[in-house]
Chains A and B, each alone.
Chain A
Amino acid sequence: MTDVLQDKRPSVQPSGPLVSVQGMSKYFDVSPPFLTRVLQGRPRRALRAVDDVSFDIPHGSTFSLVGESGCGKSTVARLLVGLYQPTQGEIYFDGSAVSQLKTRRHLADFQRRIQIIFQDPYASLNPRWRVRDIIAEPVRTHRLLPEGAALRKRVAELLDHVGFSNKDGEKYPHEFSGGQRQRISIARALAGDPEFLVCDEPTSALDVSVQAQILNLMKDLQKELGLTYLFISHDLAVVSHISDYLGVMYLGRLVESGTASDIFNDPQHPYTRMLLDAIPDLEMSGRKRIPVAGEVPSPMAPPAGCHFHPRCPFADARCREEIPGITESKNVRVRCHAVEEGRLTPEVLAEAAAART
């Protein structure tokens, strides 16, 4: 097994992707407690939070993951930073298989080069530490700067980057509002000079003007330092603003991936089309926002074949049985039988759109 994966391993070239994910899956055991299982004769159950996902993130670019709540985005994020071990598949960072990093030194190096900003800013800040110590922590852990003036200067610089004054470093997390705490966690993530930053909903707790400030900061840092981002957001406007590449997830599977402009301009997968149609209308132009039809099925018992078939206007018998493989279509990679078969002609699409409104 490992041998097969080793063969696919990209050679170490600066032009290769910084991050490469190949056939990655994560299953959670969500069985009822042992006693219930025995007494009520209920079976063990697994939840496939991430199912055979592959993508590459080139150096210095931004790859965004989108998809409905519960589709597995945060689980991918946690897998990438090593908080979960994949059930299957491999992650390559800068050409090395992450599961093969065994020595302490390699692991410590990996942990410094990859940082994560969590979806929940509350849980991730130690309430008993002053903000300046929270931000200095990665610098101290990885001994990047000596204690004293240099470290103080670095912390002040980071505070300033995210819009705080040096005095705010004296305070504790509870003295800040929700959005302010999120900015603290961004400053902390930046402190260790990471190369790859995983941002799980980094701006969803922020108001638009601070959001603009943070997104601009992220872009500036990318330009200056060549940072690579995995960006997770449910806000498609933000995603379209910041992304070079885009991946669309549905119930644990990556159903469409490619450059962000290709997907936003000409989405191929029926689910992506629906997702883009559901964007709320700020112009209040009266455009009917078409909600994504149907319910998200349970990830504990996903529909057979293509998981999307119960909600898909183009589903046929094959869709209900066979898992779609990856097809290249107009520059993007899509998992859909209809796309592969060339069934989604403009006429068919127009008809379906008319039927929905």
Chain B
Amino acid sequence: MMAQTDSSETPLLEVLNLRVEFPTRRGTLVAVDDISFDIKPGEVLGVVGESGAGKSLTGTAVINLLEPPGRIAGGEVRLKGQRIDNLPQEKLRHIRGRQIGMVFQDPLTSLNPLYTVGYQLEETIRTHMNMSEGQARKRGIELLSEVGISAPQDRIDQYPHQFSGGMRQRIVIALAVCANPSLIIADEPTTALDVSIQAQIIDLLKRLCHEQGTAVMLITHDMGVIAETADRVAVMYAGRLAEVGPVQNVIKQPYHPYTKGLMGAIPTVGQKLERLTQIDGAMPRLTEIPSGCAFHPRCPKAFDRCDTERPDPIAVEESKVACWLYDDARVLSGETEQ
């Protein structure tokens, strides 16, 4: 189905001005605020940002699985050009299993403790693909082995609690990819995995991208994984997009002051520092999002304009950066150098 070669231009997933709200007694919380991005076939978009920045909510909003009272309050989500944010649940359910595979941050929500892992894999495979019981079981065993579960034929009939934390995480990944979806949304898929298994999962995702043109939205706070996997990276802060751009730029020469702080907090092997760099202060609560640029109370570069006007994403080279430092006039006059 997928156009194989000239896939470079048409995005597989387009998210336009997405807004997610939680109505509460004390007023409406805006957890995702005016976010736009797209992902092309075969591309991996990394989504990073502090805890509570709205990464998981963005992922769940794309597949319209927000838990009430959370709701999409604005914007559009398009898959292969077709709007999916306003489809009835019935249609969506089909799209979710077949076209979009989801790895939730909490592996246990995707696994039923009462059924064996094999049963759950076979069920999912047979619901979405035309396969016999025997074929589905064979595919299930293959997938377990692809995610690095050794002796899968021995383990496929065990229950989720008989696996280690990292194994359960990998079983969820196997479930998400088993119907060959065209988009995979993976929320912290490798958090509990050691580097070698991580590499194996990354290889699996990359292979799906190359061979089948699968697009991946990879939500993670692990910059090592981002550096190795992502083609582009979106950085979120307080429900907004701070910066989106090619992976080398975001990691090696970030533009946004928040991204710069984020990169400084990463420990490296062999370095036993007394303290790690922290970005001073904490991300604001959703009830107290600062005026203007949401980062301004913590920003070492903040200036008069920042607490009154909200910056829109500004194109800087191949990136888009929501920061007044990169407003045309300043960029041209070279004031941002440092």
Chain B associates with chain A: yes
- Asked if A354 CB lies within 8 Å of chain B CBs, one says no
Interface residues on chain A, size class = 35 or more
**How long is the Cα–Cα vector from A42 to B125 in the complex, in angstroms?**
28
5 A-B residue pairs with Cβ-Cβ distance under 8 Å, sorted by A, are: A30-B162, A176-B52, A178-B105, A180-B51, A237-B269
- Asked if B56 CB lies within 8 Å of chain A CBs, one says yes
Q: Tell whether A296 pairs with B148 under 8 Å between CB atoms, given A69-B166, A74-B164, A237-B268.
A: yes
Q: List the interface of chain A (C-beta within 8 A of B).
A: 28, 30, 32, 66-70, 74, 119-120, 122-123, 163, 165, 167-168, 174, 176-180, 183, 200-201, 204-213, 215-216, 219, 234-238, 240-241, 261, 264, 275-276, 278-282, 284, 289, 291-292, 295-301
Q: Are A74 and B196 in contact (CB under 8 A)?
A: no
**How long is the Cα–Cα vector from A212 to B265 in the complex, in angstroms?**
6
Q: Are A281 and B195 in contact (CB under 8 A)?
A: no
Please give, as numbers and ranges, the residues of chain A lying within 8 Å of B261 by CB-CB distance: 209
Please give, as numbers and ranges, the residues of chain B lying within 8 Å of A213 by CB-CB distance: 278
Q: Are B227 and A122 in contact (CB under 8 A)?
A: no
Q: Tell whether A205 pairs with B162 under 8 Å between CB atoms, given A177-B52, A179-B221, A275-B196.
A: no
Please give, as numbers and ranges, the residues of chain A lying within 8 Å of B328 by CB-CB distance: none
Please give, as numbers and ranges, the residues of chain B lying within 8 Å of A168 by CB-CB distance: 285
Q: Are B196 and A236 in contact (CB under 8 A)?
A: no
Q: List the interface of chain B (C-beta within 8 A of A).
A: 48-53, 55-56, 67, 105-109, 148, 150-151, 154-155, 157-158, 162-167, 170, 188, 191-200, 221-225, 227-228, 248, 251-252, 261-262, 265-273, 275-279, 282, 285
Contact of A119 among B55, B192, B195 (CB under 8 A): B192
CB nearest neighbor in A for B29: A175
Please give, as numbers and ranges, the residues of chain A lying within 8 Å of B267 by CB-CB distance: 212, 215, 237-238, 240-241
Say how far A205's CB is from chain B's closest CB, in angstroms: 6
Q: Are A207 and B48 in contact (CB under 8 A)?
A: yes
**Chain A at the B interface: SS class:** loop
**How long is the Cα–Cα vector from A180 to B285 in the complex, in angstroms?**
12
**How long is the Cα–Cα vector from A292 to B193 in the complex, in angstroms?**
14
Q: Are B223 and A282 in contact (CB under 8 A)?
A: yes
**How long is the Cα–Cα vector from A75 to B220 in the complex, in angstroms?**
26
Contact of B275 among A174, A216, A264, A297 (CB under 8 A): A216
Q: Are B148 and A295 in contact (CB under 8 A)?
A: yes
Q: Are B56 and A297 in contact (CB under 8 A)?
A: no
Q: Are B269 and A174 in contact (CB under 8 A)?
A: no
Q: Are B285 and A240 in contact (CB under 8 A)?
A: no
Q: Are B199 and A289 in contact (CB under 8 A)?
A: yes
Q: Are A206 and B221 in contact (CB under 8 A)?
A: yes
Q: Top 10 A-B pairs ranked by shortest CB distance?
A: A179-B51, A69-B166, A298-B151, A207-B221, A212-B276, A234-B194, A280-B224, A292-B196, A119-B165, A208-B265
